[in-house]
Structure 1
Amino acid sequence: MKKHITLFIWGLVVLIAFCLNLFGLMHLIPLFITMPLLFVSIFGFLATWNSRNQFKGFYQKRMWQ
Structure 2
Amino acid sequence: MSKIPFIFSIVFILFSLFINILGLMKLYPIYFTSPLLFFSLFLLIALLNNQRRFKGFK
- Per the TM superposition, whether the score is higher than 0.5 is yes
Q: Percent identity?
A: 38
- Unpaired runs of at least 5, structure 1: 60-65
More helix by share: 2
TM-score when normalising by structure 2 = 0.86
TM-aligned CA deviation for residue 50 of structure 1: 1.2
TM-aligned CA deviation for residue 55 of structure 1: 2.8
Partner of 2:47: 48
Q: Greater Rg, structure 1 or structure 2?
A: 1
TM-score when normalising by structure 1 = 0.78
TM-aligned CA deviation for residue 56 of structure 1: 5.4
The number of equivalent residue pairs is: 58
Does 2:26 align with 1:20?
A: no
Partner of 1:62: none
Q: Tell me, in whole angstroms, the C-alpha distance in 2 between the residues paired with 1:16 and 1:57.
A: 37
Partner of 1:6: 5
Post-superposition, which runs of at least 4 consecutive aligned residues in structure 1 deviate over 3 A? Answer: 56-59
Partner of 1:34: 33
